[in-house]
Amino acid sequence: MGTFQLADLIDDRPDEGIFRVNRAIFTDADVFAAEQRAIFEQGWVFLGMESQAAGPHDFFTTTIGRAPVLVQRDGEGVLRAFINSCPHKGARVAQVRQGNARLHVCPYHSWSFDSAGRNRAIKWKNAGCYTPAFDSEDHGLAPLPRFGNYRGFLFGSLAPGELSLADYLGEAAKLLDLVADQSEDGLELVPGQVTFTFAANWKLQLENCSDAYHFTSAHPSYISVLERRQQEMSADVVASVWENSDYWKEEAQGVAGGSFSFDHGHVLNWGIFGITPAIPLYEQAGALGTRLGEGKRDWMFNMRNLTIFPNLQIAENASSQLRVIRPIGPGMTEMRTWCIAPKGESAAARRQRIRQYEDFFNPTGMATPDDTVSYENCQAGFAGTVQPWLQGHGRGMTATQPGGNRFGDRIDLKPAHNVLADSRLSDETLLQNYYRAWAARMAPELAA
Ligand code: FES
Ligand SMILES: [Fe+2]
């Protein structure tokens, strides 16, 4: 590639207290192409939830990097993942986001494939005068080189590799457990999904999920609605943390939350909410404590923004959102978002979850538009390259500790680093974790 060396893009000198990011990582077309190869088309990428293909012959479509992907359950119930491209001339065989099909008939020349990806028919084959060499080829859909399922979260990779999905997720898998274990019946996506694009780089979405610093600046209208509602709420809802949780009452001691950084670029930032009726899980608080222990239950009630690098985010606060990030170009990103929920919650809890979801998370809600406008505002600002290095990624550096802390110990969490914070620290060390994983993956591409 040649235009940039890694040191031109990420200035990482921890011993000198310096961590800087060059604007070019958000705008440069060659950097973007290298990201597609090194990050999206080499390693593990989130595909979707197992519940999106729950029954025989159910399927959904997605992408890994630039490649279209078909995730399909066959007639025997086996879940498989393929490149969604016909071996004949390459057309996508499945055209819709989600469906049920025993057979996919390619729209171009009608080659057909069963739900296990096997070729079942080639139109007018006997009249086709093919050679024996053609007959000896496998005409099925190409399976993904790697496909993994962690507790209903499906991941795939376009390249073979040494790193198992379990090793890739590492300790961050325990944070997926906090989502998956909220019901004994598992998780589901609430019907209805939203897809939208913003005219900015995908890494701005990555950052924003982990950015507590912007909340009071970018979301004033949402905050004023929250304040107004709080005045109208009953006292037991408002009391939440300190009245309803012995643990946090004893242990918080000025800590409002914090962050964890994990190997391979995964991060969590979290805040204490306490066992409060403001959260739809409240009706299950007792049962969850009995089934999973109070430590794990209490963590389910914390505000948690989780990123599984590079494209999965799960945000749990007043409601719960699953986001899939799809980079389209240096300055264009597609988001697919769902409300994710424990199966079997009461109608009242589900109603509360959906109403609170609409408030905050929907692109028509009171927060998401503030964020996407900010991304586009940054992208426009990146064109000013007189000072190419962005500042402030070192926020929280002197508060960073290696390993875990007493709060994470309650769920046996062993992160690479952690920060404990008051309500204003809002550390950006999580962003460093993204960019270190990014740099490790990009280094061979940039050197080539
Ligand atoms: S491209 Fe699929 S049948 Fe020709
Ligand atoms: Fe935001």
Q: What is the pLDDT of residues 279-336, one digit of tens each?
A: 999 999 999 999 999 999 999 999 999 999 999 999 999 899 999 999 999 999 999 9
Q: Are residues 227 and 279 in the same domain?
A: yes
Q: What is the largest CA-CA distance in the chain?
A: 80
Question: How many angstroms separate the alpha carbon of residue 111 from the centre of ligand 1?
Answer: 6
pLDDT at 448: 81
Question: How many angstroms separate the alpha carbon of residue 39 from the centre of ligand 2?
Answer: 25
Domain finish residue from 151, 184, 217:
151
Q: Are residues 228 and 199 in the same domain?
A: yes
pLDDT digit string (tens) for 95-107? Answer: 999 999 999 999 9
pLDDT at 228: 87
Q: Name the phi and psi angles at 255, rounded to 5.
A: -85, 130
Instruction: Classify residue 2: in a domain, yes or no.
Output: no
Ligand nearest to the CA of 370: 2
Q: Are residues 315 and 382 in the same domain?
A: yes
Question: How many angstroms separate the alpha carbon of residue 77 from the centre of ligand 1?
Answer: 27
Ligand nearest to the CA of 366: 2
Question: How many angstroms separate the alpha carbon of residue 68 from the centre of ligand 1?
Answer: 15
Instruction: Classify residue 94: in a domain, yes or no.
Output: yes
Q: Report the nearest atom of ligand 1 relative to the CA of 93.
A: 2
* pLDDT at residue 395 greater than cutoff 70: yes
Q: Name the phi and psi angles at 375, rounded to 5.
A: -60, -45
Q: Are residues 369 and 420 in the same domain?
A: yes
What gap in Å lies between CA 444 and CA 261, rounded to an integer?
23
Question: How many angstroms separate the alpha carbon of residue 48 from the centre of ligand 1?
Answer: 26
* pLDDT at residue 377 greater than cutoff 50: yes
What gap in Å lies between CA 45 and CA 435, rounded to an integer?
17
Pairing relationship of beta strands 320-329 and 153-157 according to DSSP bridges: unpaired
Residue of the CA atom closest to atom 1 of ligand 1:
89
pLDDT at 171: 98
* pLDDT at residue 164 greater than cutoff 70: yes
- In the block, residue with structure tokens 């424990």: 342
What gap in Å lies between CA 378 and CA 331, rounded to an integer?
10
Q: What is the mean pLDDT of residues 197-222?
A: 96
What tokens were used for 219?
Answer: 């979301």
Q: What is the CA radius of gyration of the chain?
A: 23
Q: Are residues 281 and 376 in the same domain?
A: yes
What gap in Å lies between CA 93 and CA 105, rounded to an integer?
7
* pLDDT at residue 68 greater than cutoff 80: yes
pLDDT at 236: 58
Question: How many angstroms separate the alpha carbon of residue 3 from the centre of ligand 1?
Answer: 39
Instruction: Classify residue 13: in a domain, yes or no.
Output: no
Question: How many angstroms separate the alpha carbon of residue 141 from the centre of ligand 2?
Answer: 40
Residue of the CA atom closest to atom 4 of ligand 1:
109
DSSP label at residue 162? S
Q: Are residues 105 and 239 in the same domain?
A: no
Ligand nearest to the CA of 139: 1
Q: Are residues 324 and 351 in the same domain?
A: yes
Instruction: Classify residue 24: in a domain, yes or no.
Output: no
Q: Report the nearest atom of ligand 1 relative to the CA of 106.
A: 2
pLDDT digit string (tens) for 219-268? Answer: 999 899 888 887 887 665 555 544 567 788 788 888 999 999 999 999 99
Q: Out of 106, 112, 130, give the residue to mutate to test ligand 1, the one with the largest number of ligand atoms within 8 Å of its CB.
A: 106
Q: Report the nearest atom of ligand 1 relative to the CA of 109.
A: 3
Domain finish residue from 121, 151, 181:
151
More confident residue, 199 or 240: 199
Instruction: Classify residue 67: in a domain, yes or no.
Output: yes
Ligand nearest to the CA of 121: 1
Ligand nearest to the CA of 213: 2
pLDDT at 227: 86
pLDDT at 1: 46
**Percent of the chain scored above 70 by pLDDT?**
97
Q: Are residues 147 and 175 in the same domain?
A: no
* pLDDT at residue 36 greater than cutoff 70: yes
pLDDT at 8: 95
pLDDT at 359: 87
pLDDT digit string (tens) for 95-152? Answer: 999 999 999 999 999 999 999 999 999 999 999 999 999 999 999 999 999 999 999 9
Question: How many angstroms separate the alpha carbon of residue 320 from the centre of ligand 2?
Answer: 14
Instruction: Classify residue 18: in a domain, yes or no.
Output: no
What are residue 58's DSSP bridge partners?
A: 100
What tokens were used for 447?
Answer: 């050197």
What gap in Å lies between CA 278 and CA 286, rounded to an integer?
15
CATH code (residue 138): 2.102.10.10
Q: Are residues 286 and 339 in the same domain?
A: yes
Residue of the CA atom closest to atom 3 of ligand 1:
109
Q: How many domains does the chain have?
A: 2
Q: What is the mean pLDDT of residues 46-64?
A: 97
pLDDT at 255: 93
Q: Report the nearest atom of ligand 1 relative to the CA of 110.
A: 3
Q: Are residues 437 and 375 in the same domain?
A: yes
Domain of 56 in residue numbering reads as 45-151
Instruction: Classify residue 23: in a domain, yes or no.
Output: no
Residues with CB under 6 A from ligand 1: 86, 88-89, 91, 106, 108-111
Q: Out of 88, 122, 130, give the residue to mutate to test ligand 1, the one with the largest number of ligand atoms within 8 Å of its CB.
A: 88
Q: Out of 83, 86, 120, give the residue to mutate to test ligand 1, the one with the largest number of ligand atoms within 8 Å of its CB.
A: 86
Question: How many angstroms separate the alpha carbon of residue 122 from the centre of ligand 1?
Answer: 9
Look up residue 268 and give its amino acid.
Answer: L
Angle at CA of residue 334, ends 215 and 363, nearest 5°: 45
Task: For residue 297, give the nearest of 246, 258, 260 by alpha carbon.
Answer: 246
Three-class SS state of 212: coil
Are 413 and 299 within 8 A, CB to CB? no
Task: For residue 325, give the nearest of 342, 307, 343, 339 by alpha carbon.
Answer: 307
Question: How many angstroms separate the alpha carbon of residue 95 from the centre of ligand 1?
Answer: 13
What tokens were used for 151?
Answer: 């507790």
Q: What is the mean pLDDT of residues 67-77?
A: 98
pLDDT at 27: 98
Q: Are residues 316 and 428 in the same domain?
A: yes
DSSP label at residue 151? T
pLDDT at 235: 63
Q: Are residues 215 and 298 in the same domain?
A: yes
Domain finish residue from 151, 185, 217:
151
pLDDT at 386: 97
Instruction: Classify residue 158: in a domain, yes or no.
Output: no
Mean pLDDT for the chain?
A: 94
CATH code (residue 245): 3.90.380.10
Ligand nearest to the CA of 218: 2
